[in-house]
Structure formats: C-alpha cells, structure tokens
Structure 1
Amino acid sequence: MRTEHHRITTPVTADLLRGAVELERTDRGLLPHRLPAWARAQYPDGQLAMAEAQPSGVRLVFHTSATVVELDVLATKRIYAGAPPRPAGLYDLVAGGELLGQASAPGGNTLTLDMTAGTATTTPGPPGTVRFPVLPTGPKDITLWLPHNETAELLALRTDAPVEPAPDRGRSVWLHHGSSISQGSDAASPSTTWPALAASRAGVDLINLGLGGSALLDPFTARTLRDTPADLISLKLGINVVNTDLMRLRAFTPAVHGFLDTVREGHPTTPLLLVSPILCPIHEDTPGPSLPDTAALSEGRLRFRAGGDPAERASGRLTLGVIREELASIVARRAPDDPHLHYLDGRALYGEADAAALPLPDALHPDAATHRLMGERFARLAFDGTRGFPGPAA
C-alpha cells in the first residue's frame, strides 16, 4: 500500500509542460508565461501582465502509474471591489479523455481590482497544494490543466509513482490568439474553455494566446505568433479594439494588415483562420468604450454597458458590425496572394438565436454553457477541411 512516505518529487521542467510560450525560473519555482519577456517589456501594462501570466491552455502532461498527484503552487487570485467573489481557479486532471478530478489551490496572493477607481492592489499570501488523491491504478497519460483565470507559480510535483514526459503523439499544434473570451472568461474550468474544448474535439495540441483585454493588434503579439511553431493558426480579433475604443477605422484596417504580414513572416503557408467577434448586443451598433455598469455594481453585480454614440460611426468609430465587414473585406483582398488565409464570421459560433437562449451574463462574456457551444461549433466549422484546417479524422 502506498503512503505519504512514498511520495516522489519530480522537478517541474519544460518537458512536462505544454502550451506555454516561455517559462520563468523564480526563487520558488517555475512561472509559465504566454508572452516572452521581451514582449512583456515593450508595454508594462497591468491588465496585459495579469492576462498573459494566467496560464490558459497550459498543462502538465506526463506518463505515470501514480494514484496520487499533488502540485504545490503559489496562486494569484482576483477580487473585484464591490462585486461578488470570483470562483476559485480550478485545476482539471484528465486521463484517457476523461475528467478524473478538479481541485483548487488554497492560499495564494490576492489581486484586488477596483474598476471604478482604476486601481489594482496585490496582497501576498502563502503557497498551497492541489491534491488528486484517488486516481485509477495502472499506467496512464495524465494532463493536468492549469487555471485559465489565476496565475499559478509551480513549486513542486509529487506522486506515489515515477513520472516521465508523455510521448509525442504527433498531433498538429494549433496556435490561437484572441480576447478574454478566448482566454476563457467565465468558462467553468480550464479544460472547458471554448478553445480547449475545440482542441480536444479536433485532436490537436493547443497553444492559447487569448489575452483578456489585450487582443489589440499589438506588434509584439504578432511577432510572438510569428516566432511560435505551429501547424494551424487562428486569430479572433475585434472585441477588445471596440471595448477599449482604441482606434478608428483608418488605423484599424492597416493594423490588421500589418498584424497578418508579421505572422506570415514566420508562417508563410500555414493555414490561418481570421475569426470576427461573436455577437455582443451592446456593441453591435454602438462604439466603445465598454464601461462598468455602476448601477449593477451598487447591487453587487458585475455588468458592462457601451459608452459610445452610434452616430459617431460616420466619423470612423468602430462597432462590431463595422469590424466584421472590414475583416471579411481584408481576407477577400488578400486571398488571391494568400490561398491559405480564410475567414469565419464569429456569429456562427454565437449569434442572435444563441443570445436569446444564452444571454451574456455581464453583457460581454459567455457563460460555461456558451463556451461549450462555441467549442463544439468551432471544432465542426473550422476543422471541416474547407478552411485550411484538417477535416475530421476518418
């Protein structure tokens, strides 16, 4: 019988991790990043720093006969001042395609965000241990998904049997970039964000560069995509440009072309799918910025409203309707010289009928059921063999 005295500590190293762009060695352990250090240094923005360090799509993948898995981590958890507590970040343990356990890390740092004042304060806390104590016997490949919504500094991996890196199954690597919706905001858990679900359905390995609030056509993000090895690429663009009110149409169109040009420098013939925003009723015809609904906050609810004026579309302010038209036009103009570039209207993932049945709870982000719907639809629509991504396996 195995006991705690038989725990084996395995260093967390790069060969056990998938989905990270860079690994930072800290005083305590290893911190996965989804942007490299040189990119993070180009604009030290708090929102970007928080999003890229939250390991959406990052997972430990290893082969073992262990029946007990423990991971020591130092988490950083978010609190929104005046709003209900956020759900604790979950760690999903999957083997053989089956979810065998979920757990959260106790303790950790706390990041308090005041959306009204625009401030962020971090309170230090202790490390904690994520435990999966009753796993099936026998050899198995384990995938331990890290939280999509809280930072996880990895300190130690312990098991009651030896661990080795899982063998390479030769699966295609799918590199995806998008907003908080792609990062997984309001998904139930890290293995059930819509990109993770789509990757599982399609049988591909995911690298998720969904960056909450930061899909803003930044050149450093384009260069990161350019330099990241991938067999398939998708870019889901538009919502953050609107809800930050970042640019006008005159700047948006050349910025998209430039973003695509940079990605193509490293991936000249890789299938590339440009995806427009899903339906978001508050911004379909009304420009940004997206602002916190103070009336909802006073009631302890987090909700957003559109702060722009629809009449200003004439002067180039962006709405989702304008962005979809422009993205489709960009793909059409580039297609003769880039036959591997394709377009998908985001409303095919979540449209008007879906909004009636599954409204966005905070007016911006989909809930867990909608993530599942979007993941299933993306797997069916993108991986159908007609947009450059491979079709279903025979």
Structure 2
Amino acid sequence: MRSPIWRLLLIPSTYGVLVWSGLLSLLAFDFIAVDVSATAYYVYLYVIICFVLSNALISRLFLAIDLEGLGRQIEVNGLDMLLFVVSTLIGLAGLGLYILDFSANFGGVYQFFYIFLTNPLEIRAAAADSTSFGFQISYFSWLSVFYCVLLLATGYGKSMGWKIFLALLGVFEFALNLLFIDRTRPTILFVICALGFVACRFGRFRHPLRFLVAVFLGPLVIFFAQALYTGKYDASDGLLNNFMVYILGGFGYFSSLLSDVIPDYSFARTFYPVAKIFEVLGLMREVPPQILEFRDIPFLTNVGTFLEPFVSDGGLMFLLVGVPSLAVTLDLFALLALRMRSIPGLFIWANFILIALLSFFVPKYNATHTYLFIAIFLGFQLMRASRSIEVRG
C-alpha cells in the first residue's frame, strides 16, 4: 500500500464518510420502507460534511507518518508482556464469571452450554433481567485477543510452540465472547484485529482492496451466521430484509426522535461512564439507560445512530457542535495513537476507527469499554515514558 491514497484507510473519518454515504444511498433506493423526515436528511448530510472536512484537515498528517516498517518498529518489551498477561487473566476471569453468573439461571454450567447449543436466545433473554460483573471485566479479553494477533503479526517470538499458544489462546477467548449472544462483540473483535494486523504489515500489504472488502464483509458474515444459528430474525420477511432493517433502522429511529425529543441537558448520555460514576457517588440523579425504547418507523427498532445521545442531551444545537467535535477528536487521537508505535496504540487507533464504522448504528464513543481502553492506553504510555526517563537518568 505504497500509494498515498491507501493511507486514507488509516483515518477514522474515512470510514464515517464511506458508511454514511453508502447506507444513505441504500436508503434512497427504497429497499425497505423507512420513515425519514427532510430535517433528518439535512442532519445526515451535515454528518457526512463533518467527516469529509475532518478528513481533509487531518489527511496530510497521516500521509507524513512512516508506516512502511511499522511492524518492525514496534518494540515489544516487558511492559507489553505484563499488560498482555494481566489483560488475559482479567479477561478470562470476566468471561468465567459471566458464565457462572448466567449459569445460575439455567441450573448449572452444563445446562448453560446446553442452552447455548440448543436455544441460545434464552441466554440473550436472560440478559434483560440478569447482570454480571463479568460483563465489564470481560472487555480485557478484547485487548488480550488483539495482543495475540499483533504478537503473531509482528513476529515477536520465533518458536512454533509460542505461535501455537498465541493462536489457540486468541481463538479460545474469541469463542468465549460468542457466549454473550451479541453480534457486536465478535464484530468488534474481528474489525479491530483485522485493522491492527494490516497496520503493522502496512508496507508489505499488496492487496489493499482485499483488506477493505474484508473489513466490510467480515461483519456481514458474522451477522448472517449468528442470525441463522440463533434464529434471531423474522423468517416471514427473510434474512436479507432483516439485515436491511438492522443497518437502516437507526436512520428512521433518529428521524422519529427529532419530532418529539425534549433535551434534558444532563449530558449523561454523551458522557455515560462519567455520569455513572457521578451517580454512584451521589453527585447525579439516576442516569438514563443506554438501551432505548422501541419506536415504530414503521418497523420496531431501538437504535438511533451515534447522533442519539447528542440530540437527547442537548437538542440540535448540541448535535451541531458535537458531531464535528467528535469527528476531529477521533481523527486526532487516532493519529497520536498510531504515532506511538505500540500495540496498545494500535489497539486504540483501531477502536477509534470502529467508532466511526459503527456510527450508523449505535454510539461507541460513550461506551464503558471505550473509556476503559483509553485509560489503559494512557497508563501504558505514562509507564513507558517513566521507564524511558529512568533509563536516560
């Protein structure tokens, strides 16, 4: 990928432009009936313009980065191995705790796996009434899986036994994440690992179009495979129609929201993890749930694109400020993370691209795991800088 044009694939806003332009084009072809107002269309055009402008402002800085030997420039040291081990142990503990907690709903671990194999939607339904601390700490397994892929991609450790261990560990943790019966978990893991793999082999990647196709088609395969396995779709409408509902429903939901939204100006949805901390400390009243109420658009859905928190918190004025601010922030922080030339840096960069990639569906910039990963990355960079100062001293 020596041509400068392919470096645009490193910028989060590139994916925002591609996804929003592509899906709005599908919406215009009326593959399915979706109620979208003229005002909503103007907002969607504004979103695309913001992504384009951010891309234009930041692209020259991405073009200036030497990425041809990024995989060889990444230094894997003891701090990396410590983070890898810790994220693996905590992630596996979280996955195990989730299994144990939810097994109580089905009479034991054996029954949990039996339900997973025979009627997995029962597990999904149980999540509406049950919770587990394993949900939160299982996010560490995402970082562990990413380390497995990147350690293999960068060639760290030459022994065949080490490579087999990394491959088996990564596949095992990925498989355990499937137990949540949630399309977003495997999609996120696939996308960030694919992005990280290609970034660290940027100079040797000869078929960029294949990469682009894989990033977009991989989640589609996951969607259809899980829908067929779980039966989570309306058979009378067909699998393809259900897929169109899935990817276009957010545009109709947001349009419906615009017609009757009353902003509460709490900004609790936009900064959800911070608001939850304030709620626990008694500094904020009850934080609104992230799971939205269903709306008929004319089919039922409860996803409102990444725009929903902005307009629910502060109305159209806050949205007009929030969208360009988010677009520029994603691009700038992705640039800084990529310049760090570290595995945690690539992890954060890939997650910022994911935020733009899924912006048509749900907001991920206000997700708990996003804040967690940023905190881990900043802690890693501070520790690396501290060790560097000690060595110089």
Tell me which interval the TM-score lies in, with the shorter structure as reference length: under 0.3
Structure in which a larger fraction of residues adopt helix: 2
Structure in which a larger fraction of residues adopt strand: 1
Report the TM-score, using the length of structure 2 for normalisation.
0.26
Report the TM-score, using the length of structure 1 for normalisation.
0.26
